[in-house]
Structure 1
Amino acid sequence: MSDSSSPADLRAAVERVCVFYESLSPGALASLGTLYTDDARFKDPFNEVRGIPAIRQIFEHMFHNLHEPRFVVTQRLVDGRQAFLVWEFRFRFRRFDTVTLQVIRGGSHLVLAADGRVCDHRDYWDAAEELYEKLPVVGTLMRYLKRRANS
């Protein structure tokens, strides 16, 4: 894509990212370079890394610690070289409650480089509500603190 990428080209680039995440598997991690620039930045509530190897390591860790993780993109907004994706992340814990399907709701702000690959990816989601409250012991404490803060 050139600097004058058409809106259709940019939407197509964002669609490729959505398809990638919705069909993410350990084998798909080898193709991260087709979606992310070599020096892409990735930030979420637990990580801030730069570069494809570091991004791949985050997803390898996810596949190691969670059972059947998958993303469902529910909305997408594209404005020039920026996009915002609204998603649900579904998984089961490999430890703790291994039966219950967990859902984390969040969003991703993406900035696309001139070639249509992602150069900046930032995930937004509430780790306290969406994750910590679902863990044994920590969840009990988090729910207690939430009730106290709201009373």
Structure 2
Amino acid sequence: MKPSVLSPPDAMARAVAFFEHLEPAHLAALDLIYAPNATFKDPFNEVQGLRAIGGVFEHMFATLDAPHFVVTGRVLQGRACFLTWDFCFRMRRFRRGQDQVIRGASQLVFDEQGRITLHRDYWDAAEELYEKLPLLRPLMRWLKRQARS
């Protein structure tokens, strides 16, 4: 039986809904969102395949409190999509109980079934994360000053 074809606008809407409502129980249905050999890349990971992509999300849920995405913008061209988002969470080890936000963007490419074949996240790890960590904050500020001079 041939898999159903999902239009790019519908694929984008499904991806946005998936990310905005993501919770650990949804990882069992990752094959509805991602193609079997999909590639995922962000500042910390570069993985391929459903199991590895699921591992990235599992790690997110295991190490952060209340992680969730809020999609703030979307652009679609053919089967390629670009989303801007806020990733909201609370750290478990530092600044406990304080809400944190990382602002970033994702490039997604869909196959004919509307599954993601490429997922690449773009965000500034130095500004959005390292500068918030107590041990790295002074070093990051010093590096910024050095880069400006």
Q: Distance in 2 between matches of 1:111 and 1:19?
A: 16
Q: Which residue of 2 aligns with 1:52?
A: 50
2:77 counterpart letter in structure 1: D
Q: Which residue of 2 aligns with 1:68?
A: 66
TM-score by length of 2: 0.94
- Residue among 62, 85, 92 paired with 1:94: 92
Q: Which residue of 2 aligns with 1:16?
A: 14
Q: Equivalent residues in 2 for 1:75-90 (5 A)?
A: 75-90=73-88
TM-score by length of 1: 0.93
1:47 counterpart letter in structure 2: N
Once the two structures are TM-superposed, the CA of residue 12 in structure 1 deviates from its matched residue by: 1.0
Q: Distance in 1 between matches of 2:127 and 2:40?
A: 22
Once the two structures are TM-superposed, the CA of residue 147 in structure 1 deviates from its matched residue by: 2.2
Once the two structures are TM-superposed, the CA of residue 60 in structure 1 deviates from its matched residue by: 0.5
1:67 counterpart letter in structure 2: D
2:62 counterpart letter in structure 1: H
5+ long unaligned stretches in structure 2: none
User: Sequence identity of aligned pairs in percent?
Assistant: 54
Q: Distance in 1 between matches of 2:10 and 2:50?
A: 21
Q: Distance in 1 between matches of 2:23 and 2:113?
A: 24
TM-align CA RMSD: 1.1
Q: Which residue of 2 aligns with 1:107?
A: 105
Q: Which residue of 2 aligns with 1:43?
A: 41
Q: Displaced runs of 4+ in structure 1, greater than 4 A?
A: none
Matched residue of 2:62: which SS?
A: helix
